[in-house]
Amino acid sequence: MADAAYDADHLRDRIVETGGIAVIPNNPSRSTKLPFDNELYAIEGTGKMVKDALENSARYYSSAGVPGSPGPLQPETPNMKIVERFTRTAPDTIDFKMTITDPTVLATGSYTIAYPMYLDNSYDMYEYACHEGNTAVRNYIETSRYERTHPKEKK
């Protein structure tokens, strides 16, 4: 799954060659539109300022599950909502808080993750898509291919 900015034939071909499904919306500059599965890409999101914090919230309307989730190990329903909040507490500190709510599958209805993020000027940041050492996409594809060729036996 990727944003329209990653809509390139060579990337789509590589995903298909490795047995994956390219879930990438068509880039507006693409002259011939390719089929696109909206069901797999259905996400509703908002971002807004709430008092002194930036708040992002998202709902995923997809039978495929939440992007990046470990599949059946993390069950979810269309009722699931994720809210992230970033609050600057000092010139070099942001408090991050994420609340996941899904009353259908979570016994408590929701859970929260929180931790501070500190500024580190010595940290080098690279664009995720272009960093030479980024093997995440290749690893996802190889893992997916392995799982399809070695299915787990149902108990």
Structure tokens, 144: 């997916």
Each residue of 46-104: pLDDT tens digit? 777 888 888 887 776 555 555 555 555 566 677 788 888 999 999 999 999 999 888 88
* pLDDT score of 113 more than 80: yes
* pLDDT score of 29 more than 80: yes
Structure tokens, 147: 């799982």
| Rounded Cα gap, residues 71 and 146, in angstroms | 15
| Rounded Cα gap, residues 22 and 56, in angstroms | 26
Q: What is the mean pLDDT of the chain?
A: 77
Place of tokens 């392995």: 146
More confident residue, 145 or 71: 145
